[in-house]
Amino acid sequence: MREKISTLSLTSLSLGVMSIITVFGGYTVFLGLFFAFIGILTGLRGKRYSPTKFATRAVRISIFGFILCAVVMLVFTALYLSSLLNFDFDFHSLYETLADLIHRLIH
Instruction: Quote the CA–CA distance of 14 and 19 in Å, as a whole number.
Output: 9
Q: What secondary structure, in 3-state letters, does the chain show?
A: CCCCCCHHHHHHHHHHHHHHHHHHHCCCHHHHHHHHHHHHHHHHHHHHHCCCHHHHHHHHHHHHHHHHHHHHHHHHHHHHHHHHCCCCCCHHHHHHHHHHHHHHHHC
Q: What is the mean pLDDT of residues 4-30?
A: 88
Q: Note whether 38 and 51 are within 8 A (CB).
A: no
Q: What percent of the chain has pLDDT over 90?
A: 37
Span 9-15, mean pLDDT? 91
The answer to whether residue 91 scores a pLDDT higher than 80 is no
Q: What is the pLDDT of residues 68-87, one digit of tens each?
A: 999 999 988 888 887 777 66
Residue spans per domain, the chain: 7-106
**Chain center to CA of 70:** 4
- Read off the pLDDT of each residue in 47-75 and give the average, rounded to a whole number: 90
Average pLDDT over residues 30-38: 92
> Residue 1 — pLDDT band, cuts 50, 70, 90?
low
